[in-house]
């Protein structure tokens, strides 16, 4: 598969996965770009041991986890107090809220539900995350229950 085809096929899905992790449009775009830089660099070494999609999602999730670790090390108190947080307003409020709720989940749950929303097969999710398929099914069910409850708690 040619890189340009891979990019066209997976860009939106990887971006949405990154949004599920960071809930920040610009950062999600940066993380998606970084993911595709890695894909570009590593594509000649890809050995077809898994599907190309599984490989790309694993790269993206590892990239997002590294970003989260960096954020934990950075003291938020170093930021100026008078900055207002800017949000992208073009998304529907329910979608923005969904990304917000997903970003509040534990890291593993974020990757699992983000991949589920991208309609990745549960067997592939299990391979990406390193859990059993039955464990993934249970986790997805529980995550959906948590998200549904959060929407109910917020009047939806």
Which pLDDT belongs to residue 99? 87
pLDDT band for position 59 (cuts 50, 70, 90): very high
Return d(Cα 140, Cα 47) in angstroms, integer. 30
DSSP 7-66: HHHHHHHHHHHHHHHH--HHHHHHHHHHHHHHHHHHGGG---SS-HHHHHHHHHHHHHHH
- State pLDDT tens for residues 20-37: 888 888 999 999 999 999
Q: Indicate the average pLDDT of the chain.
A: 85
Return d(Cα 31, Cα 15) in angstroms, integer. 8
Q: Give the SS3 label for residue 133.
A: helix
Which pLDDT belongs to residue 88? 46
Burial class from Cβ neighbours inside 10 Å (0-12, 13-18, 19+) for residue 131 reads middle
Residue 106 belongs to what H/E stretch?
A: none
> What tokens appear for 135 in the block?
């464990």
Return d(Cα 135, Cα 128) in angstroms, integer. 13
Helix/strand/coil percent split, the chain, to 5: 75, 0, 25
Angle in degrees, CA 156, 148, 138, rounded to 5: 170
pLDDT band for position 83 (cuts 50, 70, 90): very low
Return d(Cα 27, Cα 107) in angstroms, integer. 17
- State pLDDT tens for residues 60-73: 998 988 887 777 76
> Structure pTM?
0.66
pLDDT band for position 92 (cuts 50, 70, 90): confident
Which pLDDT belongs to residue 91? 61
């Amino acid at each position: 598969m040619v890189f340009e085809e891979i990019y066209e096929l997976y860009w939106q899905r990887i971006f949405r996965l990154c949004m599920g992790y960071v809930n920040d449009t610009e950062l999600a775009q940066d993380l998606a770009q970084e993911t595709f830089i890695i894909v570009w660099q590593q594509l000649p070494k890809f050995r077809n041991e898994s599907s190309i999609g599984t490989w790309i999602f694993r790269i993206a999730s590892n990239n997002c986890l590294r970003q989260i670790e960096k954020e934990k090390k950075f003291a938020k108190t170093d930021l100026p107090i008078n900055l207002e947080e800017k949000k992208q307003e073009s998304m529907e409020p329910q979608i923005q809220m969904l990304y917000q709720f997903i970003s509040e989940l534990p890291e593993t749950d974020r990757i699992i539900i983000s991949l589920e929303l991208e309609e990745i097969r549960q067997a592939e999710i299990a391979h990406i995350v390193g859990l059993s398929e039955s464990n993934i099914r249970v986790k997805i069910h529980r995550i959906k229950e948590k998200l549904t409850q959060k929407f109910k708690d917020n009047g939806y």
